[in-house]
């Protein structure tokens, strides 16, 4: 590509494909400094996309930004040059939380992965994008994602692009959340650039939530009131510690993040069962008896007990949103606090409130997205050093380039997925 013509962000054009609730495009806007030229998506994603469209059209008053569905009829009409495309197609097929057992629902062969290929190909063929960035599950970087990465590599080669896989976590981008993700980056260049590393300092979980402005929206919407003392295992721990005990601190001191794991590791499960029987706690008794049975079979359980985090929170996913205890109060996070953990602006409103809270989890943290798009900007301006390879794998956890030193003609991509 010719980078000589673009010298400022003002000249860069960009757009999202499948924005969903909007984390990726909000990050792109933050990095580039201006809204998208258009919002693109496909049939079936409009419910989630409507959150971002509402923010742009109604909150920010940008009703002139079109929301366009890409289909066979519209493709010829919307074809245009756009420098940077960002996409958030579904990543559930490679998610470790996917409990499906068939190839249709889970794994590298799942048709759900086709949306990633579609976003990449449309970014290349409809928009001649200089960069297409797609966010996906961390497994894309590993052997589990090999078939998906192989197909992405084929798409890149077929269209004169190179490919990067960049594994990172939100905690390296300034927010106290351990959210591992892999970004697939397609570059309109025979070889891929070497991206910069990120290790931004983040604020402690408690202090970060205290940064929420007083006038921020939806602070009263508590996601789950049945955590803390309303949850059986946490209440049992509080009972064992007595009036002077501090349950939250006890779990943090032992670095045990869930109330069930605390009880189990301390060898207290049988005593908890007895206490639940004595106090008539049917919910606690049922859960503890189930855990006892599963353990007798050598199996684990789905742990829905109270989660207590210290410096940082685990990934903002549906399960953690429901079970995480606020760092100082006896409740879960609110909708606003969950949005804040994804670095959303304080004037962003989750339309539908609590019934749509899981949309927050199906998302990209704004801070992570902004940093990735900053790399795209540098590429478009010709400010990134190019590697000698059409495939580069970079691990921001270890600050290592795992693949991408020499040119890779006739590459056997399967040999690269060794983690």
Whole-number Cα distances in Å, 56 to 12, 37, 40, 186: 19, 12, 13, 27
pLDDT of residue 196: 96
Mean pLDDT of the chain: 92
Task: Sort 170 into a burial class: Cβ within 10 Å, 0-12 / 13-18 / 19+.
Answer: buried
Last residue of a domain, one of 333, 351, 379: 333
* Distance of alpha carbon 158 from alpha carbon 162, whole angstroms: 10
Task: Say if residue 18 is in the same domain as residue 98.
Answer: yes
DSSP E strand stretches across 206-353 = 313-314
pLDDT of residue 97: 43
Whole-number Cα distances in Å, 282 to 274, 275, 277, 288: 12, 11, 8, 10
Task: Say if residue 179 is in the same domain as residue 225.
Answer: no
User: Is 349 within the bounds of a domain?
Assistant: no
Q: Which of 52-61, 96-105, 301-310 has the lowest mean pLDDT?
A: 96-105
pLDDT of residue 315: 95
User: Is 382 within the bounds of a domain?
Assistant: yes
**Percentage of the chain surpassing pLDDT 70?**
91
Last residue of a domain, one of 281, 313, 333: 333
pLDDT over 80 at 109, yes or no: no
Task: Say if residue 63 is in the same domain as residue 195.
Answer: yes
Mean pLDDT of 301-321: 95
CA nearest 209: which of 325, 340, 344?
Answer: 340
Task: Say if residue 100 is in the same domain as residue 199.
Answer: yes
pLDDT over 70 at 27, yes or no: yes
Going by pLDDT thresholds of 50, 70 and 90, the confidence category of residue 406 is: low
pLDDT of residue 119: 97
Task: Say if residue 124 is in the same domain as residue 181.
Answer: yes
Task: Say if residue 24 is in the same domain as residue 160.
Answer: yes
Whole-number Cα distances in Å, 32 to 8, 9, 232, 329: 9, 6, 48, 38
Task: Say which CATH number the domain at 64 has.
Answer: 3.40.50.150
Domain count, the chain: 2
* Distance of alpha carbon 14 from alpha carbon 9, whole angstroms: 10
Task: Say if residue 244 is in the same domain as residue 113.
Answer: no
pLDDT over 90 at 408, yes or no: no
pLDDT of residue 405: 63
pLDDT of residue 98: 41
Task: Say if residue 20 is in the same domain as residue 165.
Answer: yes
Task: Say if residue 228 is in the same domain as residue 132.
Answer: no
Domain that holds residue 191: 9-203+363-416
Task: Say if residue 145 is in the same domain as residue 270.
Answer: no
* Distance of alpha carbon 92 from alpha carbon 124, whole angstroms: 24
User: Is 84 within the bounds of a domain?
Assistant: yes
User: Is 358 within the bounds of a domain?
Assistant: no
What would the two tokens of residue 45 be? 């994603």
Task: Read off the pLDDT of residues 333-345 as tens digits, 9 standing for 90 and up.
Answer: 999 999 999 999 9
Task: Read off the pLDDT of residues 33-84 as tens digits, 9 standing for 90 and up.
Answer: 999 999 999 999 999 999 999 999 999 999 999 999 999 889 888 999 999 9
Task: Read off the pLDDT of residues 219-276 as tens digits, 9 standing for 90 and up.
Answer: 999 999 999 999 999 999 999 999 999 999 999 999 999 999 999 999 999 999 999 9
pLDDT over 90 at 414, yes or no: no
User: Is 39 within the bounds of a domain?
Assistant: yes
Q: Which of 271-275, 326-330, 352-356, 400-404 has the lowest mean pLDDT?
A: 400-404
| Beta pairing, strands 180-187 & 313-314 | unpaired
Whole-number Cα distances in Å, 296 to 191, 299, 300: 54, 7, 10
Mean pLDDT of 345-358: 97
**What does the DSSP 8-state code read for residue 214?**
T
Mean pLDDT of 275-288: 97
Task: Say if residue 165 is in the same domain as residue 115.
Answer: yes
User: Is 345 within the bounds of a domain?
Assistant: no
pLDDT of residue 411: 57
User: Is 209 within the bounds of a domain?
Assistant: no
Task: Read off the pLDDT of residues 186-201 as tens digits, 9 standing for 90 and up.
Answer: 999 999 999 999 999 9
Task: Read off the pLDDT of residues 125-174 as tens digits, 9 standing for 90 and up.
Answer: 999 999 999 999 899 999 989 999 999 999 999 999 999 999 999 999 99
Task: Say if residue 69 is in the same domain as residue 191.
Answer: yes
């Amino acid at each position: 590509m010719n980078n000589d013509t673009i010298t400022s962000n003002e000249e860069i054009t960009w757009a999202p494909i499948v924005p969903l609730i909007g984390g990726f495009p909000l990050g792109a806007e933050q990095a580039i400094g201006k809204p998208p030229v258009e919002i693109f998506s496909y049939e079936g994603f409009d419910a989630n996309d409507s959150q971002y469209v509402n923010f742009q059209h109604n909150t920010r008053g940008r009703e002139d930004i079109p929301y366009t569905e890409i289909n066979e009829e519209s493709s010829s009409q919307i074809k245009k040059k756009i420098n940077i495309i960002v996409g958030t197609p579904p990543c559930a097929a490679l998610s470790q939380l996917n409990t499906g057992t068939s190839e249709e629902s889970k794994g590298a062969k799942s048709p759900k992965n086709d949306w990633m290929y579609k976003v990449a190909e449309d970014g290349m063929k409809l928009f001649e994008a200089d960069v297409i960035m797609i966010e996906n599950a961390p497994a894309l970087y590993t052997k589990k994602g090999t078939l998906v990465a192989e197909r992405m590599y084929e798409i890149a080669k077929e269209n004169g692009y190179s490919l990067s896989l960049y594994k990172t976590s939100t905690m390296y981008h300034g927010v106290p959340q351990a959210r591992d993700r892999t970004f697939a980056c397609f570059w309109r260049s025979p070889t891929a650039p070497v991206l910069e590393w990120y290790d931004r300092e983040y604020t402690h979980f408690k202090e970060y939530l205290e940064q929420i402005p007083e006038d921020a929206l939806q602070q009263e919407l508590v996601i789950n009131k049945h955590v803390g003392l309303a949850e059986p295992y946490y209440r049992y721990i509080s009972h064992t510690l007595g009036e002077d005990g501090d349950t939250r601190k006890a779990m943090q001191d032992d670095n045990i993040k869930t109330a069930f794991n605390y009880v189990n590791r301390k060898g207290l499960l049988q005593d908890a069962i007895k206490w639940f029987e004595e106090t008539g706690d049917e919910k606690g008794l049922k859960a503890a008896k189930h855990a006892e049975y599963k353990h007798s079979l050598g199996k684990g359980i789905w742990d829905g007990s109270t989660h207590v985090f210290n410096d940082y929170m685990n990934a903002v996913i549906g399960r953690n949103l429901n079970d995480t205890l606020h760092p100082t109060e006896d409740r879960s996070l609110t909708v606003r606090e969950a949005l804040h953990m994804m670095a959303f602006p304080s004037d962003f409103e989750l339309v539908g409130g609590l019934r749509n809270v899981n949309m927050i989890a199906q998302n990209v943290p704004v801070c992570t997205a902004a940093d990735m798009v900053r790399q795209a900007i540098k590429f478009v301006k010709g400010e990134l050093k190019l590697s000698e390879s059409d495939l580069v794998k970079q691990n921001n956890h270890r600050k290592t380039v795992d693949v991408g030193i020499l040119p890779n003609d006739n590459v056997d991509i399967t040999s690269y997925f060794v983690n």
